[in-house]
A and B are shown apart, each in its own frame.
Chain A
Amino acid sequence: DIQMTQSPSSVSASVGDRVTITCRASQGIGSWLAWYQQKPGKAPKLLIYAASSLQSGVPSQFSGSGSGTDFTLTISSLQPEDFATYYCQQAHSFPITFGQGTRLEIK
């Protein structure tokens, strides 16, 4: 199975800050990576697919990059509604696996 490891597990930031979350795969997955946002009590929401493609309707302050084993999600200027938990997911092969999540908190 492909293991997905996110860092940090949690991060505190302020509105307007730039934040980067990292995801590392245990083996190469090309660009088969997605990012999801989940708010408390809500279902996850697809933000980024194919490592860097923005899902329709997702604000442009979100961006993704990387390939192979190392990937990043960047939020260029944090908005109040961006405080949530973020998960990466490898879409390369079965079993589909997620990272453990990164909780983004208000400083």
Chain B
Amino acid sequence: EVQLLESGGGLVQPGGSLRLSCSASGFGFSSYAMTWVRQAPGKGLEWVSVIGGDSGGIQYADSVKGRFAISRDNSKNTLYLQMSSLRADDTAVYYCAKYYGSDISGRRLFDYWGQGTLVTVSS
């Protein structure tokens, strides 16, 4: 059974940093691209970033480019999102999701999702 478990969310002041983790199990982690999608309270879904199975390809939404960094450790089956220069509009539930394939430019679909971790940016 595919399982994705996010952690690392919490309350952070504007301008601060936070690192999210997503622990994966139940599938060949290194064979799949992984992605982060966020959802502000009461709002819709916003794609954040994606990383290829071998970390060979990375893409970011313009809203986080230069502030967030996605990475993965295939030996630990873990995906990360390092967030810095956080702003109030980064407040959201952050979901990690499994891509349909290993190539970020293949099927840009998310077939399994974690339950999310809440990041609140406030003073």
Contact = CB atoms under 8 A, between A and B. Distances in A.
A83 B115 CA distance: 19
Given A32-B108, A43-B95, A49-B100, A98 B46 contact: yes
Interface residues of A, number: 25
B109 A49 contact: yes
Contacts of B59: 94-95
Number of contact residues on B: which range applies?
A: 20 to 34
Contacts of A97: 47
A62 to B, nearest CB: 15
B9 interface: no
Nearest to A100: B44
Interface SS of B by simple majority: strand
B1 interface: no
Given A32-B108, A91-B107, A44 B47 contact: no
Interface of A: 1, 32, 34, 36, 38, 42-46, 49-50, 55, 87, 89, 91-92, 94-101
28 contacts: A1-B62, A43-B95, A43-B97, A43-B115, A43-B116, A44-B37, A44-B45, A44-B110, A45-B113, A46-B110, A49-B107, A49-B109, A50-B107, A87-B44, A89-B45, A89-B47, A89-B109, A92-B108, A94-B59, A95-B61, A96-B35, A96-B50, A96-B108, A97-B47, A98-B44, A98-B45, A99-B44, A101-B45
Interface of B: 35, 37, 44-47, 50, 59, 61-62, 95, 97, 100, 107-111, 113-116
